[in-house]
């Protein structure tokens, strides 16, 4: 740490003051000793008796004086060093406090630019860790606020569109602006469809906020993943036929017993298969494959529909993200399905990702076979 000219002057002044005080202290001790000895006759006689008991040469007297003066100088140097070191540490602390005030003014990217020795350097390291933690917390809070704003904006937009249609068609009915009973039924049917879209959006939003909380309890049960996938394929068989598609489950050699919240896992695959049916336009087959690898199960849901652009793959699991906005509106997608799926998989300690090329689009899930028991699972 570099000292300023003023601080160097303070240290020099401190040194002179210390030396002066030591000199005055020694002088005061000598004066007090001199007065005490000569004002006590008995003590003087005892000293003379003690002195006459020994034969001390002139060389010995010189040596004793030299030792005594050396001891006085050593004591003076120790005191001087102690006071200067104490003052120097005070200056170090003053510099650290000054840097802290600068950081506290909002310069959170600033770091204390010097290193000190001993515990003071540990204090500086702790300050840096604290500032980094504070910056991270502030950044996280900023992202949360931004995320909330985006959520409100997206929800408002997605609710306003069908709500405007509902109000418009109901307004036509209210004003009796229809020519026939068929036209009236058409208006009411359209309003009903839009209302159902709003209901689906609200339900998806509620589900998303629920599974996003890491404290959401899991109702764990043991089940065979292969049988579950076969049942899901059967449930979607009719919808697949309407799209001229087939759903195939590639069965492993043996059953895959695992522990999970069945209801939530079913929601994940419902979303993935529904997406494959909605957006796999032109595709002929949806393939579901599960395999046990170590302590986890890897499940892929793939379709031979259009390729998803590389730039969109990393954003697929963002809420309200749609690869093609117009096509998503036509299919009635809320943009929350994959975000919900990712959150549910994360709740189970797993992860999900997407891959896409000209031949296949795959969604791959990794799920642990056993869940870690804690206070949140039941």
Instruction: Report in angstroms the alpha-carbon separations of 93 from 22, 50, 111, 117.
Output: 27, 54, 15, 12
DSSP secondary structure string for all residues of 288-304? EEEEEETTEEEEEEEE-
3-class secondary structure per residue, 176-204:
CCCCCHHHHHHHHHHHHHHHHHHHHHHHH
- At a CB cut-off of 8 Å and minimum separation 6, what does 336 contact? 201, 204, 205, 207, 208, 319, 320
Cα 74–Cα 79–Cα 83 angle in degrees, nearest 5: 150
The total of structural domains in the chain comes to 3
Shared domain check, 36 and 82: yes
CA distance 70 to 64: 10
Domain annotation covers residue 93: yes
Domain annotation covers residue 127: no
Query: What is the predicted pLDDT for the residue at 38?
Result: 59
Q: Which of 355, 160, 376 is CA-nearest to residue 261?
A: 376
CA distance 42 to 174: 127
What the block records as the tokens of 214 is 């890491």
Q: Which long-range contacts (CB under 8 A, 24 or more apart) does 190-195 make?
A: 190/165, 191/165, 191/166, 194/162, 194/163, 194/165, 194/166, 194/169, 195/162, 195/166
CA distance 165 to 191: 7
Q: Mark which of 114, 148, 174 sits at the end of a domain.
A: 114
Domain annotation covers residue 373: no
Shared domain check, 320 and 287: yes
Shared domain check, 248 and 348: yes
Cross-strand partners of 125:
none
Rg (C-alpha) for the chain, rounded Å, is: 42
Place of tokens 């906020």: 209
Domain annotation covers residue 336: yes
CATH number at residue 168: 1.10.287.130
| DSSP three-state, residue 57 | coil
CA distance 69 to 375: 75
Domain annotation covers residue 330: yes
CA distance 202 to 135: 35
- Structural domain harbouring 256: 220-368
CATH number at residue 332: 3.30.565.10
Shared domain check, 197 and 89: no
CA distance 342 to 365: 9
Q: Mark which of 81, 98, 114 sits at the end of a domain.
A: 114
Query: What is the predicted pLDDT for the residue at 197?
Result: 80
Contact 291, 300 (CB under 8 A): no
Strands 351-356 and 296-303: unpaired
Domain annotation covers residue 245: yes
- At a CB cut-off of 8 Å and minimum separation 6, what does 99 contact? 110, 112, 113
**Averaged pLDDT in 10-residue chunks for the chain of 378 residues:** 77 86 84 68 57 55 73 88 85 84 84 77 84 86 77 74 87 88 90 86 79 78 93 91 91 89 91 87 90 92 88 78 52 71 90 90 93 56
Shared domain check, 96 and 10: yes
Shared domain check, 295 and 183: no
| DSSP three-state, residue 249 | strand
Shared domain check, 191 and 83: no
Q: Mark which of 151, 185, 212 sits at the end of a domain.
A: 212
Shared domain check, 295 and 264: yes
pTM of the predicted structure, to 2 decimals: 0.57
Shared domain check, 288 and 192: no
Domain annotation covers residue 377: no
CA distance 149 to 131: 27
Shared domain check, 227 and 344: yes
What the block records as the tokens of 298 is 């890897």
Domain annotation covers residue 318: yes
Dihedral angle computed from the Cα positions of residues 13, 14, 17 and 19, in that order, rounded to the nearest 10 degrees: -110
Shared domain check, 293 and 183: no
Shared domain check, 176 and 76: no
CB atoms inside a 10 Å sphere around CB 112: 21
């Amino acid at each position: 740490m570099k000292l300023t000219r003023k601080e160097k002057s303070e240290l020099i002044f401190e040194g002179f003051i210390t030396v002066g005080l030591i000199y005055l202290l020694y002088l005061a001790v000598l004066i007090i000793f001199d007065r005490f000895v000569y004002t006590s006759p008995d003590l003087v006689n005892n000293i003379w008796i003690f002195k006459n008991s020994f034969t001390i040469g002139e060389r010995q007297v010189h040596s004793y004086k030299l030792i005594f003066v050396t001891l006085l100088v050593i004591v003076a140097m120790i005191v001087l060093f102690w006071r200067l070191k104490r003052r120097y540490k005070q200056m170090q602390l003053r510099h650290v406090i000054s840097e802290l005030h600068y950081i506290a003014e909002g310069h959170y990217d600033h770091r204390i630019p010097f290193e000190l020795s001993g515990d003071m350097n540990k204090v500086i390291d702790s300050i840096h860790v604290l500032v980094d933690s504070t910056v991270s917390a502030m950044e996280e809070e900023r992202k949360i606020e931004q995320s909330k704003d985006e959520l409100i904006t997206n929800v408002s937009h997605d609710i306003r569109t069908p709500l405007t249609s509902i109000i418009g068609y109901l307004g036509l009915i209210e004003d009796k602006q229809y020519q026939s009973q068929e036209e009236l039924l058409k208006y009411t049917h359209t309003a009903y469809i839009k209302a159902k879209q709003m209901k689906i959006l609200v339900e998806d939003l509620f589900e998303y906020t629920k599974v996003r909380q890491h404290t959401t309890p899991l109702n764990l049960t043991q089940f065979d993943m292969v049988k579950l996938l076969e049942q899901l394929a059967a449930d979607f068989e009719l919808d697949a036929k309407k799209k001229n598609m087939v759903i195939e489950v590639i069965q492993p050699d043996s059953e895959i017993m695992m522990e999970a919240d069945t209801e939530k896992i079913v929601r994940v695959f419902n979303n993935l298969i529904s997406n494959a049916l909605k957006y796999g336009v032109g595709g002929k087959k949806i393939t579901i494959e599960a395999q046990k690898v170590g302590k986890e199960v890897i499940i892929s849901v793939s379709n031979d529909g259009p390729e998803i652009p590389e730039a969109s793959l990393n954003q697929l699991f963002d809420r309200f993200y749609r690869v093609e906005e117009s096509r998503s509106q036509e299919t009635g997608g809320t943009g929350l399905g994959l975000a919900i799926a990712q959150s549910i998989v994360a709740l189970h300690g797993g992860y999900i990702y997407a891959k896409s090329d000209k031949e296949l689009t795959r969604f791959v899930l990794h799920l642990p076979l056993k869940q870690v028991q804690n206070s949140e699972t039941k």
